[in-house]
């Protein structure tokens, strides 16, 4: 539902919000329910670009004297949305707090990618109930990918009436309206548009940290891998205009940021939706590499859309890092077909060959799903053999988790959970073995580390990441935090490196 339809619906029943709590007719009367089916219907309409976002006068000061707390689950896209919501809260006069007890508004920015993630959120919703009873003025909201699912919204309405607001991933810019309505209304405020339409620029944003910045280059995904809920919860692919991205990266460089990660569900599809421009991720990276910022990364890649132009530009090096996260998901072409990944094992291996020919030192990491419905032992063995062949530096590994509304969730599955768990263990042993071997190669070498802060386990030790995303712990002066320094690796562990400062901080602007 777009803005116009929403307004029309509100006009159908302007008194709806004053009725008693009866959610059975709520959607019919006020808003359309979120619908995965509608979300799949990709419209032919052009993407609208809005660059005039501002907080209307009527909302200014809404948060004066109040505090907000946002708990973020899931991926970097959610982290990005949280930064935008924090920006809107700040513009409304709210202050941030890191304690739920202190907060006047609590938002759970949720993730729908696995059942486990959803269960955690429902656990947290339950935990917040006593706090809400204690502080009736408190507003509690659920947003993010889970709120795009009708079943989730229904469950919250039926079982968790202490929730005040539910809003979707396409409604973030409406936060001021939603908050105001939640203050005025006795009812749960629900605003979830199933269809996106716009790319909204100029949203306020409070970034986490001052060293590493995330820059969204596109929204949504049109790939429809059969196991994945993202194309339904995040909508169709919409690319930001290159000039907006370049401007944002320049601003971050001027503010002293050291590392930028370009972000999107499938960044390799960047620009494919432009009607007036023949322009892709390679072209964008070619322009960004000229900006004076030490490190530029991107995530997440889809092997199908990873083209030669991008490889050619990445091979120019400089501030474009050669650590590439390239999710393969399975080493079996048959399973890849069932997953609708739209590439084969052979195509993937050829892509890796091209990348390594152009960038001999490139580091590859990946994502793998084990136990996809009906995966055979032989097919799983193909995943292990592919892993050995590519020799990834590391991998995120998962047992397949069915997501309601996706095609894979309807497949019969003859693989018992015990077998899936055994496969995961075998894969993880291989990941660990190769990762340890790769880390060992760093012993005695000097690496450049972007220092992020104290190590989690020891405040006397500093921690940071290399260009290849290796965690390095070392002793050094605190003034190096936020800078890139040279560190000599003294000891390799499976997942991290220990080292000592090799010289003073490299001077950075």
List interacting residues with ligand SF4 (CB under 6 A): 221, 223-225, 228, 230-231, 265-266, 302
Q: Is 143 annotated as a binding residue?
A: no
Task: Give the residue carrying structure tokens 């329910």.
Answer: 33
Nearest distance from C-beta of residue 339 to ligand SF4, angstroms:
8
Cα–Cα distance, 375 to 414 (Å, whole number): 8
Q: Could you tell me which residues come within 8 angstroms of residue 486 by beta carbon, excluding any fewer than 6 positions away?
A: 446, 447, 448, 449, 501, 502, 503, 506
How does DSSP assign 277-314, residue by residue?
----HHHHHHHHTTSS-SEEEEE---GGG--HHHHHHH
Kindly list the strands in the beta sheet with 323-325, ordered across the sheet, starting from the edge strand earlier in the chain: 323-325, 363-370, 394-399
Which residue lies nearer to ligand SF4 by CB, 238 or 302?
302
Nearest distance from C-beta of residue 38 to ligand SF4, angstroms:
17
Nearest distance from C-beta of residue 223 to ligand SF4, angstroms:
4
Which residue lies nearer to ligand SF4 by CB, 40 or 468?
40
* Strand partners for 365: 325, 394
* Token pair recorded at residue 335: 């399973």
Residue in 34, 107, 33, 110 with CA at minimum distance from that of residue 70: 107
- Say which DSSP state 139 is in: E
Q: Is 221 annotated as a binding residue?
A: yes
Which residue lies nearer to ligand SF4 by CB, 70 or 221?
221
Nearest distance from C-beta of residue 230 to ligand SF4, angstroms:
4
93 by Cβ neighbours in 10 Å (0-12 / 13-18 / 19+) ranks as middle
Nearest distance from C-beta of residue 265 to ligand SF4, angstroms:
4
Nearest distance from C-beta of residue 352 to ligand SF4, angstroms:
18
Nearest distance from C-beta of residue 266 to ligand SF4, angstroms:
5
407 by Cβ neighbours in 10 Å (0-12 / 13-18 / 19+) ranks as middle
Provide the 10 A C-beta neighbour count for residue 190: 25
Query: Taking a C-beta distance cutoff of 8 angstroms, is the pair 398, 418 a contact?
Result: no
Cα–Cα distance, 478 to 339 (Å, whole number): 47
Residue ranges at the known binding site for [4Fe-4S] cluster: 75, 111, 145, 221, 225, 228
Residue numbering of the annotated binding site = 75, 111, 145, 221, 225, 228
């Amino acid at each position: 539902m777009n803005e116009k339809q929403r307004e029309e619906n509100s006009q159908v029943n302007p008194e709806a919000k004053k009725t008693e709590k009866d959610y059975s007719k709520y959607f019919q009367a006020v808003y359309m329910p979120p619908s995965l089916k509608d979300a799949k219907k990709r419209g032919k309409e052009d993407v609208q670009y809005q660059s005039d976002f501002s907080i209307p006068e009527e909302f200014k000061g809404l948060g004066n004297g109040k505090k907000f707390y946002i708990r973020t689950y899931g991926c970097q896209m959610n982290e990005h949305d949280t930064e935008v919501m924090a920006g809107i809260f700040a513009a409304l006069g709210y202050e941030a707090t890191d304690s739920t007890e202190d907060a006047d508004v609590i938002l759970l920015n949720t993730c729908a990618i696995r059942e486990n993630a959803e269960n955690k959120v429902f656990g947290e919703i339950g935990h917040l109930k006593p706090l809400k009873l204690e502080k009736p003025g408190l507003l509690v909201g659920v947003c993010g990918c889970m709120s795009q699912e009708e079943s989730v919204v229904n469950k919250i309405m039926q079982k968790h009436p202490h929730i005040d607001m539910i809003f979707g991933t396409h409604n973030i810019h409406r936060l001021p309206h939603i908050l105001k309505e939640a203050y005025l209304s006795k009812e749960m405020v629900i605003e979830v548009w199933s269809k996106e339409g716009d790319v909204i620029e100029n949203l306020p944003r409070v970034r986490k940290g001052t060293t590493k910045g995330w820059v969204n280059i596109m929204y949504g995904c049109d790939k429809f891998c059969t196991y994945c809920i993202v194309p339904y919860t995040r909508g169709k692919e919409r690319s930001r205009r290159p000039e907006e991205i370049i401007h944002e990266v320049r601003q971050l460089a001027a503010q002293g940021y050291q590392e930028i990660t370009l972000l999107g569900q499938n960044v390799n599809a960047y620009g494919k939706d432009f009607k007036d421009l023949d322009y892709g991720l390679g072209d964008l990276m070619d322009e960004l590499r000229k900006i004076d910022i030490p490190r530029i990364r991107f995530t997440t890649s889809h092997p199908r859309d990873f083209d030669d132009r991008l490889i050619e530009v990445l091979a120019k090096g400089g501030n474009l890092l050669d650590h590439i996260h390239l999710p393969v998901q399975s080493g079996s072409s048959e399973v890849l077909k069932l997953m609708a990944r739209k590439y084969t094992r052979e195509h993937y291996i050829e892509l890796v060959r091209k990348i390594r020919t152009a960038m001999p030192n490139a580091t590859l990491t990946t994502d793998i799903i084990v136990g996809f419905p009906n995966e055979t032992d032989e097919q799983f063995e193909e995943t292990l053999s592919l892993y050995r062949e590519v020799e990834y530096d590391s991998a995120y590994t998962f047992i397949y988790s069915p997501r309601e509304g996706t095609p894979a969730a309807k497949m019969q599955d003859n693989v018992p959970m015990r077998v899936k768990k055994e496969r995961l263990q075998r894969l993880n042993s291989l990941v660990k073995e190769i990762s340890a071997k790769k880390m060992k190669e760093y012993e005695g070498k000097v690496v450049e580390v972007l220092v992020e802060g104290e190590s989690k386990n020891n405040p006397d030790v500093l921690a940071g990441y290399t260009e290849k995303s290796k965690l390095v712990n070392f002793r050094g002066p605190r003034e190096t935090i936020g800078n890139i320094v040279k560190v000599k690796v003294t000891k390799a562990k499976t997942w991290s490196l220990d080292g000592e400062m090799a010289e003073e901080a490299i001077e950075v602007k």
